[in-house]
Amino acid sequence: MDLIKVFITEDESIVREGLRDIIPWEKHGFEFVGDAPDGEMALPMIRKLKPDVLITDIKMPFMDGLSLSNIVSRELPDTKIIIISGYSDFEYARQAIELNVDQYLLKPITKAAMIKALEQTRQKIEEEQEQKDFLLRYEQESKKYESFSRRAFFETLVEGSLTVQQIYEQADKLHLDLNADGYNFVIFTVQAINETAYSEPAAVILDELLNYFLRYPDYILFRCNLLSYALLVKGDADNLAELTQRGIDIIQHRCCESETQLNWYVAVGSPTYRLSGLPRCYADTNHVLAYRHLLPTKHIFTAEMLKVEREQGAAKNLDALDLVKVDPMVIRNFIQAGISEETEAFVEEYISNLGGVERSVLFRHYLIISARINAELILQEMGCTKEEYLRQIPPAELNMPVENLKDYLISVFKTAVDMRDLASQRQNSDIIDSAIKYIDKNYSDENISLNNVAQAINISANYLSALFSQKMGISFVEYLTQKRMARARQLLQRSNKRSGEIAYEVGYKDPRYFSFVFKKTQGCTPRSFRTGEMDKQ
């Protein structure tokens, strides 16, 4: 841990300089960063230096120590306060207690007494920092963005089925801070070229990105579906665009520096300055993301960019049509990798790119036949029959009016994607069964992780994570933690093993972190659970 910063406020120069010079600060893990003769002079210095510990007298001119402590405890709640006073007056002590002052020392103060107070304060700071570190580690390991309740909240949020009051209430239950002047969505996906097979580089990069965004309160991370994540960016009118761009830059930089070829895409929405505008913002961002199927060589998509693409790419007649935009692989790629919810957006952009050429009867014939044949071929590769598919889509009318083309293509593609997903479910059940067997056998290994389970069964870590949450209703880490805690409870009840031994046996190298997780998930410490004193926690 870094040296703990100390600031002294004392109007008696002899006392102030004596404390400054007599204490071997670094020897005891401290750094003396400054002093002032009164609270008025001290406050701006404290705001700038942000000390970990403030040592202050009570009686001082201009601003006394209690007033200073009141402001500091409000503005810098993590700063510990040690009051030194020549008065043993009960009223001073009472006010100090109300301000959550950590130590109250009476003058004259000996070197030993001050060092003892500092050591106790340092221990408290280190314990609090350890708890913060454990909480951050737990949240990163828990992957809260994978939790069922968070996914459910996200889905209702972007559907627009919640009032603003309900949004705040549900967000508060999930400890999500949605207070901001403005919002935007960034949706991103990072996959190996073979999106379902295990790829360590892709898994590592995605983990780094997710953990990065979890550390910053300006970003709230959600999983959208099996392959995509959404960042809800929060900010004010001055910095929202900067925060959004920073998120994009982080994704781009990490993916571009990878030596492994990746399929990665980022879609950026248009900002909204109302919570009630989030559903529209998300829908627009998803619409933008659907464009990746039409321009697979591009990686970053914005609404402004799509507007330019439409204007520049619109064909005026059949001869001017860009053949790349009607390449059958565009359709095949969407049916293989697209999601049902983005079908309408994909079809709208696909037709928009044609620039009016779809009005040609001849071209409509080609488009209808191409869509049908490519959908059938993909589904046959997955074991679906042509007859099964044709029963679920409207009959192909080659001479259908142009007004019906969009709805027909949506039906053809959406049915194909839904059938693809249905065919995948049988395989997905086998994947989950294999993952659970591996966890049940290896949960006591401290190194077990989503990545090595995915590697063991040769599946993409990202895909396994999403699939696990979808099928089990809890995340991979929640299942692993439940398994470990169940075994820990058994050992606490049925054996005389120490908590540290049990921690090691259920997969935790650090006994203190094991105790933290146990209390976090079980509501009591391991010791209290063993003695039956859970109600006292």
More confident residue, 333 or 509: 509
pLDDT value at position 300? 92
Using the Cα atoms of residue 431, residue 437, residue 440 and residue 442 in order, give the sign of their dihedral. negative
Q: Which residues pair with 30 in a beta bridge?
A: 4
- Ramachandran sector of residue 34 (left: φ over 0; alpha: ψ -120 to 50; beta: rest): left
Query: Which residue type is seen at 499?
Result: S
The region of weakest confidence among 22-31, 123-132, 179-188 is 123-132
* Separation CA 365–CA 197 (nearest Å): 37
Strands 30-36 and 4-9: parallel
Percent of the chain at pLDDT > 90 equals: 30
Q: For 371-383, what is the mean pLDDT?
A: 80
Nearest CA to 195 out of 84, 338, 299 is that of 338
Q: What is the pLDDT of residues 219-233, one digit of tens each?
A: 998 888 777 899 999
Q: What phi, psi does 186 have (nearest 5°)? A: -125, 120
pLDDT band at residue 146 under the 50/70/90 scheme: low
Mean pLDDT value across residues 10-30: 89
Place of tokens 């109302």: 274
Q: What pLDDT score does 324 carry?
A: 58
Q: Specify the higher pLDDT residue, 46 or 348.
A: 46
- What are the tens digits of pLDDT across the range 507-530? 998 999 999 999 988 889 999 998
Residue 90 has pLDDT above 70, yes or no: no
pLDDT-derived band of residue 466, with 50, 70 and 90 as boundaries?
Answer: confident
* Residue 535: band (very low, low, confident or very high) from pLDDT cuts 50, 70, 90: very low
Q: Are 59 and 82 in contact (CB under 8 A)?
A: no
Which helix H or strand E contains 8, and what residues bound it? strand 4-9
How far apart CA 266 and CA 92 sit, in angstroms, is 58
- When mean pLDDT is compared over 89-93, 161-165, 417-421, the highest value belongs to 161-165
Q: Supply the angle between the helices 405-442 and 461-472 in degrees, to the nearest 10.
A: 90
Write the CA distances from 373 to 59, 324, 369, 377, 403, integer angstroms.
87, 18, 6, 6, 22
Is residue 68 predicted with pLDDT exceeding 60? yes
Q: What's the predicted TM-score (pTM) here?
A: 0.56
The answer to whether the CB of 460 falls within 8 A of the CB of 189 is no
Tokens (6 digits) for 471: 């099928």
Per-domain boundaries in the chain: 4-141, 152-313, 320-427, 428-536
Q: How many residues does the chain have?
A: 537
Provide the Cα torsion 386, 388, 393, 398; round to 10°: 30
Highest-scoring range by mean pLDDT, 143-152, 186-195, 282-291, 301-310:
282-291
Residue-wise pLDDT for 51-65, tens only, equals 999 999 888 888 888
Cα–Cα dist 403/106, whole Å: 87
Q: Determine how many CB atoms are found less than 10 A away from the CB of residue 202.
A: 26
pLDDT value of residue 89: 59
Interior angle at CA 201, CA 195 and CA 207, nearest 5: 90
Per-residue pLDDT band for 69 (boundaries 50, 70, 90) equals confident
pLDDT confidence of residue 536:
45
For residue 188, what are the β-bridge partners? 229, 266
Compute the distance between CA of residue 241 and CA of residue 231 in angstroms, rounded to an integer.
14
Please check whether residue 251 is in contact with residue 191, taking contact to mean a CB–CB distance below 8 angstroms: no
Please name the fold of domain 4-141: Rossmann fold (3.40.50)
Tell me the average pLDDT of the chain. 84
Give the class (CATH, top level) of 428-536: mainly alpha
pLDDT tens figures, 413-424: 888 888 887 777
Identify the bridge partners of residue 300 per DSSP, sorted by sequence position: 266
Is the backbone peptide bond immediately before 108 cis, with ω within 30 degrees of 0? yes
Does the pLDDT of residue 319 top 60, yes or no? Answer: no
Q: What is the pLDDT of residues 263-309, one digit of tens each?
A: 889 999 999 999 999 999 999 998 888 888 777 778 899 888 777 66
Angle, nearest 10°, between helix axes 90-98 and 65-75? 10
- Which DSSP symbol is given to 354? T
Residues 386 and 390: their CA atoms lie apart, in Å, by 6
CATH class of 152-313: alpha beta
